[in-house]
Structure formats: C-alpha cells, structure tokens
Chain A
Amino acid sequence: DAGVIQSPRHEVTEMGQEVTLRCKPISGHDYLFWYRQTMMRGLELLIYFNNNVPIDDSGMPEDRFSAKMPNASFSTLKIQPSEPRDSAVYFCASSLNGLHHIQYFGAGTRLSVL
C-alpha cells in the first residue's frame, strides 16, 4: 500500500479564498483523523471519522472549517474563507482501529495564507 496520501503538499493562497485539502487513507482502515500543526500550538486533532461518519469535530476551530468523508477512500478538509492564522501544516492519518492501533500519517499539506 502507498500509505496515506495527501494533496496538495503545498498550498499558497490569498486571504478570503477557499482551500480544499485532500486525503486518501490506507485501504481497509476505518478511522481517519485530521490534524493541524503550528509552532505555537503543536499538533491538534481537528476531527476524526469512523466508517466515514464524523465522530468528534470539537477540535474544528470555527465554522469556516468543514470536513467530509464521502466514501472509505477519500476525505476533504475545507477552509472557507481562509485567513492568515490558518497557515499551518495539516496532517491526515488513518488507522485500522482507532482505539487500539497505531495511526499512519500522511506527509502533510503545508498551507500558507497570505
């Protein structure tokens, strides 16, 4: 398996624009996690899905952020409208069983909002 695949690897956009980050989990994994990493706050869990259903989105900063998982092999994290403070590295991870197995991380998307 190619592992967790995220796209794009880098995104530079202007304030106010819509940004969509994409993630393909490892085939067969039933948990998917979205994380954000900044220098100030470190790694933070934004939202996670189990069998394509959002379980906990309490980490999503505000209504400008939304995440979907239309099927077992694809998820998106959308920011609309984007702001400079959203600049961070966004990681997607998947696991076979979220409670008892390790998570496999994608390479991350480095987002810069100017």
Chain B
Amino acid sequence: KNEVEQSPQNLTAQEGEFITINCSYSVGISALHWLQQHPGGGIVSLFMLSSGKKKHGRLIATINIQEKHSSLHITASHPRDSAVYICAVRPNSGGSNYKLTFGKGTLLTVNP
C-alpha cells in the first residue's frame, strides 16, 4: 500500500463546477505539498501545508493532521485548470531529512 493515496485517479468536470481532490497518507508528517503538472509537463507548487487551510485565488487546500487527510478544492473550475494534481508528504522522521513521498496524481479534465 502506498504511503500517499489520492482520489479520484481521474476526474472530469464541466466548466464552473466545484472540484475536490483528496489525499490520504499513512505516516506522521511535518508538511504536505500540492503540486500541479500541466499537459506540457511543467510542475508548479501550489501549496505547502502543515495545518489548517490555505487559499490562493480559486484554489483552497485544507489539511486534517489527526485524520491524515488533505483536500484540494477548485472553485468555479475552468478548462485551464485541466492538469494532474499531485499530493506529496514530508514524513515526520525527525532531523533535517527532506525526502518527499508522492501520490500518483489525479488527472483533472475540465470541459467547456
């Protein structure tokens, strides 16, 4: 079983819909990242969370440390949001180790 599980694997939505992508992990963590990978392959870091919630434009990321779960929400989705969204965690192994563990990603397609 992967340490980081994302759901759904694939998601198709109509423009304007509210999108939720979920990430569950099985280890104690000190931080969780959400990344966006566009069809051209480039990767952009969206958020880094250790608690609570962060918002940037139409994107909202939340994390529940006790439940080992994070969600990425997209409000008023648009075709340009079509991308692979990747969750990554930094296990709380102590010290200065910064080895991230990645989920397999969620492929989001937003149709006009």
Contact = CB atoms under 8 A, between A and B. Distances in A.
Interface of A: 31, 33, 42-45, 48, 50, 55-56, 58-59, 89, 91, 93, 98-105, 107-108, 110
B41 A89 contact: yes
Contacts of A89: 41
A42 B105 contact: yes
A102 B99 contact: no
Contact of B100 (A45, A100, A105): A45
B4 to A, nearest CB: 9
A70 B48 CA distance: 29
Contacts, number: 54
- Which of the four size classes fits the interface of chain B? 20 to 34
B45 A103 contact: yes
Interface string B52-91: 0000000000000000000000000000000000101010
Contacts of A102: 33, 45, 47-48
Nearest to A89: B41
Interface of B: 30-31, 33, 35, 41-45, 47-48, 86, 88, 90, 96-100, 102-105
Q: Which of B31, B33, B35, B100 has the most CB of A within 10 A?
A: B100
B36 to A, nearest CB: 10
